[in-house]
Amino acid sequence: MTMPDLVALRRKLHADPEVGLQLPRTQAAILEALSGLPLDLTLGQKCSSVTAVLRGARPGPVVLLRGDMDALPIREETEVEFAATGEAMHACGHDLHATALVGAAHALAPQQSELAGSVVFMFQPGEEGHGGARLMLDEGLLDAAGERPSAAYTLHVLADRPRGMAYCRPGPIMAAYSILDATLIGRGGHGGRPHETLDPVPALAETVTALYAYVARRFDAFDPVVLSVGELHAGTAPNVVPGSGTLRAGIRTFSEAATARIAEELPSVVASVAAAHGLTAEAAVRPVMAPTVNDPDAAAVFAATATGLFGPGRYTDLVHPRTGSEDFSEVLREIPGAYGYLGAGPADRPATAGNHSPRAWFDDSILPGAAALLAGLARHHLLSPPAAGPVPARESNLPTGRSS
């Protein structure tokens, strides 16, 4: 598949984004792009997923490669000629991910007779908080090749990193995401006679402060918790004390232990503050995504493959995890693997916006390199014995990326 072919597919997907689990037009475009390849195809029953298996000529391990396909409910504000015009946008680069995975399938298919093992290509809808990975797992993704994969990889583009720079790290690389929902219940009344009420408003304010203090003082700084209250709601008029108020907070954690603790302890913090004001509280923490944790050996494979393809100046270890969240974590809970990044910022000007911005801009000249990296990760397991990679540069000495 040539670079113009890859760019054309990416721009087709970008101009016609779909949100959530049902992506019929995106699925059709992917199937058309895979047509003619020697793949066993399975379509999802509860979502518009595509699972494609390339079977090598000889027995060997199974490697899973993932590309997500869904967009975000954001109106695009870029000025590219292929910009989406509706209420959805590929603001996280999933159009590049799906295209790169198609490119990897085209790169590996001609080597079918040389492969010892199989490749599972996971085209996933519903990554943006819709549970698409879990649905695909529940529908038998890991059994698609006849045996479970022994390694799994995915690649995510970054609009705010230099074009063509690759990144990875062993251990946690993305945060878990949980949501705290809390309602404080008091007694409403006249704003001129607050002593006759049980006012939830000051209790809500104290709850915000208490939550921020709790995560800062009760959790290990080296296993951090990042909590942000993003919603506060109470009242309908300035002269009325409301009877109740609500808050919602997004919480990022980097270990299963911290994720379990916040689910157990934060509702008690809310209840204690409410009780101090004579109120009652209903509070619960809902887990949305688990932490994304890279297997150390798989992260080393990612580093060695990226360095071998791009050169030592275009790979660096991330010093710290990123605080976004990712449902490829569900795959990595079951299969050892690695999640890595590829910079896709513009080459001719500074990046003006990061992922999830309506102005996010991704340079699609990286597509051949992204496809080659995904294919190379599979080849590492299916064509040649594993080899130790060179020691990567540290993130603090980032070289300038060049075109893929």
Binding residues, by number, are: 92, 94, 128, 156, 356
Residues whose CB falls within 8 Å of the CB of residue 39, separated by 6 or more in sequence, listed in order:
52, 53, 54, 105, 109, 121
Of 124, 141, 173, nearest to 294 by C-alpha is 173
278: tokens are: 């004579």
Q: 194: how many CB neighbours lie within 10 A of its CB?
A: 13
CA separation for the pair 110, 68 (Å, rounded): 24
CA separation for the pair 64, 144 (Å, rounded): 10
Q: Which residue has the tokens 């990286």?
A: 366
Annotated binding site for Mn(2+): 92, 94, 128, 156, 356
Residues whose CB falls within 8 Å of the CB of residue 179, separated by 6 or more in sequence, listed in order:
248, 249, 250, 251, 285, 286, 288
137: tokens are: 């797992």
Q: Contact at 8 Å (CB) between 264 and 219?
A: no
Q: Where are the beta strands (DSSP E) in 159-279?
A: 166-168, 171-174, 176-185, 189-190, 225-234, 240-241, 244-253
